[in-house]
Amino acid sequence: MLRPRRLSLPASIAHPVRLLPLTFLTLIFFGTLLLLLPFARSGQHSPEFLPAFFTSTSAVTVTGLATVDTASYWSPAGQAIILALVEIGGLGIIALATVLGLFIGGRLGLRTRLVAQADMHVVNIGEVRPLFRRVAMTMVFFQAVTAVVLTLRYRSAYFGDWPTAVWHGVFDAVMAFNNAGFSLNNDSIVRYAGDGLIIIPIAVAVFFGAVGFPVLAELFSGWRTPARWTIHTRLTVWGSIGLLIFGAVAFMLLEWNNPATLGGEGLWHKIVTGIEGGIMPRSGGLNSFDWDMVRPETLNMGIILMFIGGGSASTAGGIKITTFLLLAYVIWAELRGDPEITIGARSVAPRVARTAITIALLAVMLVTSTTFLLMLMTDYGFDVALFECTSAFATVGLSTGITPDLPPDAQCVIIVLMFLGRVGTIAAAGALVLRRRMPRYHLPEEQPIIG
Amino acid sequence: MLRPRRLSLPASIAHPVRLLPLTFLTLIFFGTLLLLLPFARSGQHSPEFLPAFFTSTSAVTVTGLATVDTASYWSPAGQAIILALVEIGGLGIIALATVLGLFIGGRLGLRTRLVAQADMHVVNIGEVRPLFRRVAMTMVFFQAVTAVVLTLRYRSAYFGDWPTAVWHGVFDAVMAFNNAGFSLNNDSIVRYAGDGLIIIPIAVAVFFGAVGFPVLAELFSGWRTPARWTIHTRLTVWGSIGLLIFGAVAFMLLEWNNPATLGGEGLWHKIVTGIEGGIMPRSGGLNSFDWDMVRPETLNMGIILMFIGGGSASTAGGIKITTFLLLAYVIWAELRGDPEITIGARSVAPRVARTAITIALLAVMLVTSTTFLLMLMTDYGFDVALFECTSAFATVGLSTGITPDLPPDAQCVIIVLMFLGRVGTIAAAGALVLRRRMPRYHLPEEQPIIG
Ligand SMILES: [K+]
Ligand SMILES: [K+]
């Protein structure tokens, strides 16, 4: 038996809770440097720090918000750098979040000795490597299929030559599965609006990217036996499908007669765009219609969907489906008067519910206070500012179009939000679970009046 | 020893959890009938059901939202009916919520045998009567002092004759302590803007009305020994003072240069209006400035303050200060990794925290969904609709001025919100605590990934 190699880092850094933010900070730093190189820009732009920093953060956190037009500001080389940053960022978040999940819970249906390392609080690179390989293979599989489908359609209907069609197909497939919202077009995917052969493959890739690796891994081997799925997989699968149907139906109903979106379109166009409207806020970021033109009710629904986000250890952001559904189960248990929080034939420890509530409330505080900041820094209304901040926090990448017009200080707020949204929820959840202390003594209880 | 008389109601109705909504429904019904009588209206109005129903609900729930102008639509007799409904509604909510609190917790610092009845789930009128008397005396004391102060100022500075000054002084004092927002003027208290001798007494009465009877009762006997206060009193007192200072300072800073509110005014005017701006959203409802003209940031701060509301068993609404602060303590315990939620040298049972979280989340869902409904029914934007719905749910009575223009279906939404906000949180909290079941068996635990 080979002695596994260790990460050549001090143990305090190799701790997965710290590894996550440090990895992403490093990636953002090098991404910014690369994007500042002359060949990354097109035209006669002089190097500007803030656009490079913003774009690097947006790419590494797989968000997709952009203060400059990806199609015209960056050269093809710059676009390739963005593509690489998104791919590394997506791979990184899936792998590190999965490692952290194993490190903490150890019950994701994967056979690995990693759990035994939990007491040592050090990640063993020899044991993590097979996991990274599986994650990478899963990503390559989904992205390759999507790229082929998109390329064929691009070649037959939009681009006259194969190289352009392949470049667009690969770029959009990588963006879709990584839930990143960058586009080679200056209008995102508006020019493909209603084209089901483009929108549906992109939406499917976004959907699977947002499910998360632990669930995909469990489904891969056990999709025929739903009764034996873990609670985590069950919550994620049914939650994702439920939110997809809810989002798509609500979007279609609300926008059915809006002349700026679905009003003048045929039934097929409405269905395709409805599916997109239900999937993209969690947390794609490509749009074939203008989010500035939807009804205010639709904008609010989008904010709620973005805030909930996707599955754990996925490329999606938000507070995550499991966190959201746990809150619902807490309410349900309380309404029924049940002493335990039960899901199926399993109970959830009160401490787990408390962590979920803390994550959700801290997220609400973060989004609310930064929305407040954005309103102080600009003249935008509450709904537009809230949409932008939620999109950044949940690393969605949708916008009502205000991102390029934000002043530098507001851009920095969005940068911080994207970073905290990407690594903050995961690192916080990990840190909270790992630092739980056992009670040493009990204080006398007292009951304040509630309500 | 005398055998106490029982309420001559079936036990199922006498249960305090059911007593609360039934009492308020009955009051609203008779209030509507009274307001439909010809002498209640001024001028040649024919009887209209909706204005009477809306006004009765708004008065009994001590809100103060109005679809018709209180000063011109109602005759002095009608205004006297509104005054009576507010007084009965305020007395009713304080007394019944206190009964319910004693019924559940039994540790409010009041000496009563009521707790012993908890197993029988029946309220004994012979034992509740002294409590009602104390509540009524407390209310009369605060309102009388306020009425005298206001009457003297009104006579010396605004009205030429004593009867008018007394009528306005008594009406405004009753409204202030009951946290109701009706006014005999068509401009609320805008004409007194900056007059500290009017605004400050009103704000003080609103503040004490929003503290709640159990706390006032404990402070009455034990204000010199804060170290021995119950957790409930401590949370309410420091929470009320903290929110007052936060609200007033934030209001002044945000509105300092707004020409539509404080911009052109002197320092004294700014301080007086700042105190009002900090106190009124929790949950007075009188306004000496136009909430339609404040900055969007101020509007949002007002929404947050309204949602939090005042103390338990008070005339204020909202999710209540204790509920809000318990959430903060849950987060704090989780961040510190503490197994128990501790406040001072006392611990709070996880079940109590779970009830607080349920109340808060249900309130968020109710306000969000009704805001959504209001947006579908009207053309108002998100912030204005959210402000109106939060004001109704938290029985505040502030408005950006849209209430009279709401279509009938939207008015019904507001009516339902005022009712649910007034009795819903209290009845829900009581019902949740009382129907807690003991565990019969334990299910195996499983831990979903969070964040
Ligand atoms: K994204
Ligand atoms: K009120």
Using alpha carbons only, give the angle A20, A24, A26 rounded to the nearest 5 degrees: 120
B451: pLDDT confidence band, cut at 50, 70 and 90?
low
Measured in angstroms, the CA of A47 and the nearest CA of chain B are apart by: 36
Residue B373's domain spans which residues? 13-430
Provide the pLDDT for residue A127.
58
Distance in Å, CA B179 to ligand 2 centroid: 4
Nearest CB to B382; choose among A296, A322, A338 = A296
Nearest CB to A339; choose among B300, B339, B439 = B439
Please give the sequence-ordered ranges of beta strands (E in DSSP) within A149-228, or none if there are none.
none
Give percent of chain A above pLDDT 70. 86
Is residue A444 domain-resident?
Answer: no
Contacts of B343 in chain A (CB under 8 A): 446, 448
Cβ contact, residue pair B451, A375, below 8 Å: no
Q: Are A190 and A158 in contact (CB under 8 A)?
A: no
Residue B179 to residue B416: CA distance in whole angstroms: 19
Per mean pLDDT, which range of A238-252, B8-22, B240-254 is the poorest? B8-22
- Residue B43 Ramachandran class (φ > 0 left, ψ -120 to 50 alpha, else beta): left
Per mean pLDDT, which range of A206-210, A383-387, B118-122, B172-176 is the poorest? B118-122
Cβ contact, residue pair B358, A320, below 8 Å: no
Provide the pLDDT for residue A112.
37
Size of the A and B interface in Cβ pairs below 8 Å: 238
B352: pLDDT confidence band, cut at 50, 70 and 90?
confident
For B372-405, write each residue's pLDDT tens digit: 999 999 989 888 999 999 999 999 999 998 999 9
Nearest CB to A320; choose among B432, B435, B451 = B451
Is residue B438 domain-resident?
Answer: no
Q: Are A413 and B286 in contact (CB under 8 A)?
A: no
B4: pLDDT confidence band, cut at 50, 70 and 90?
very low
Residue B338: pLDDT over 90? no
Provide the pLDDT for residue A159.
87
Per mean pLDDT, which range of A155-159, A287-291, B73-77 is the poorest? A287-291
For A115-147, write each residue's pLDDT tens digit: 333 333 344 555 567 777 888 888 889 999 999
Relative to the alpha carbon of B179, which ligand is closest? Answer: 2
A246: pLDDT confidence band, cut at 50, 70 and 90?
very high
Relative to the alpha carbon of B183, which ligand is closest? Answer: 2
Per mean pLDDT, which range of A317-331, A358-372, B293-307, B345-359 is the poorest? B345-359
Residue A84 to residue A56: CA distance in whole angstroms: 11
Nearest CB to B358; choose among A107, A334, A435 = A334
Provide the pLDDT for residue A8.
45
Distance in Å, CA B62 to ligand 2 centroid: 5
The number of beta carbons lying within 10 Å of the beta carbon of residue A248 is 19
Is residue A1 domain-resident?
Answer: no
Average of per-residue pLDDT across A239-253: 92
Is residue B350 domain-resident?
Answer: yes
- How does strand B346-348 pair with strand B341-343? antiparallel
A355: pLDDT confidence band, cut at 50, 70 and 90?
confident
For B185-205, write each residue's pLDDT tens digit: 888 888 888 888 889 999 999
Listed residues: CB within 5 A of ion ligand 2: B 63-64, 179, 283, 285, 395-397
Give percent of chain A above pLDDT 90. 37
Per mean pLDDT, which range of A12-16, A206-210, A315-319, B63-67 is the poorest? A12-16
Average of per-residue pLDDT across B423-443: 70
Provide the pLDDT for residue A445.
64
Phi, psi torsion values for A371, nearest 5 degrees: -60, -45
B229: pLDDT confidence band, cut at 50, 70 and 90?
confident
B145: pLDDT confidence band, cut at 50, 70 and 90?
very high
For A268-302, write each residue's pLDDT tens digit: 888 888 888 888 887 788 888 888 888 988 999 99
Contacts of B335 in chain A (CB under 8 A): 358, 432
Residue B450: pLDDT over 80? no
For residue A335, give every residue at least 6 positions away whose Cβ sits within 8 Å of its Cβ, in sequence order, or none.
B358, B432
B3: pLDDT confidence band, cut at 50, 70 and 90?
very low
Which has the higher per-residue pLDDT, A394 or A16?
Answer: A394
Is residue A2 domain-resident?
Answer: no
Average of per-residue pLDDT across B159-176: 91
Measured in angstroms, the CA of A449 and the nearest CA of chain B are apart by: 6
Measured in angstroms, the CA of B18 and the nearest CA of chain A are apart by: 16
Average of per-residue pLDDT across B125-132: 66
Distance in Å, CA B285 to ligand 2 centroid: 5
Provide the pLDDT for residue B119.
36
Helical spans, DSSP H, in B320-434 = 321-336, 350-377, 382-393, 408-419, 425-434
Distance in Å, CA B396 to ligand 2 centroid: 3
Distance in Å, CA B402 to ligand 2 centroid: 17
**Shortest CA distance to A248 belongs to which of A272, A278, A268?**
A278
Distance in Å, CA A309 to ligand 1 centroid: 10
- Residue in chain A nearest B423 by alpha carbon: A451
Residue B339: pLDDT over 50? yes
- How does strand B341-343 pair with strand A346-348? unpaired
Task: Kindly provide the ipTM of the predicted complex, given to two decimals.
Answer: 0.82
Distance in Å, CA A85 to ligand 1 centroid: 13
Contacts of B349 in chain A (CB under 8 A): 445, 447
Is residue A449 domain-resident?
Answer: no
Cβ contact, residue pair A432, B334, below 8 Å: yes
> Between the CA of residue B295 and those of A386, B61, B434, what are the distances in Å?
16, 29, 43
Nearest CB to B446; choose among A107, A353, A375 = A107
- Among A295, A343, A382, A449, pick the best mutation site for testing chain B contact (most B Cβ within 10 A): A449
Is residue B368 domain-resident?
Answer: yes
Cβ contact, residue pair B346, A426, below 8 Å: no
Residue A315 to residue A214: CA distance in whole angstroms: 12
Provide the pLDDT for residue B444.
67
Mean pLDDT over the full length of chain A: 83
Cβ contact, residue pair A313, B449, below 8 Å: yes
Number of domains in chain A: 1
The structure tokens listed for B193 are: 């803007």
Cβ contact, residue pair B382, A349, below 8 Å: no
- Residue in chain A nearest B384 by alpha carbon: A382
Cβ contact, residue pair B313, A449, below 8 Å: yes
Distance in Å, CA A78 to ligand 1 centroid: 19
> Between the CA of residue A61 and those of A58, A180, A189, A414, B411, what are the distances in Å?
5, 8, 21, 12, 45
Measured in angstroms, the CA of A376 and the nearest CA of chain B are apart by: 7
Is residue B446 domain-resident?
Answer: no
- Residue in chain B nearest A212 by alpha carbon: B449
Residue A305: pLDDT over 90? yes
> Between the CA of residue A329 and those of A100, A226, A344, B36, B400, what are the distances in Å?
24, 20, 11, 46, 36
Average of per-residue pLDDT across B279-287: 84
Cα-trace Rg, chain A: 22
A4: pLDDT confidence band, cut at 50, 70 and 90?
very low
Which has the higher per-residue pLDDT, B13 or A51?
Answer: A51
Taken in order A47, A53, A59, A64, is the CA torsion positive or negative?
negative
Q: Are B127 and B113 in contact (CB under 8 A)?
A: yes
Query: Dihedral through CA B341, CA B347, CA B348, CA B350, nearest 10?
Result: 60
Mean pLDDT over the full length of chain B: 83
For residue A429, give every residue at least 6 positions away whose Cβ sits within 8 Å of its Cβ, in sequence order, or none.
A355, A359, B449, B450, B451
Provide the pLDDT for residue B186.
82
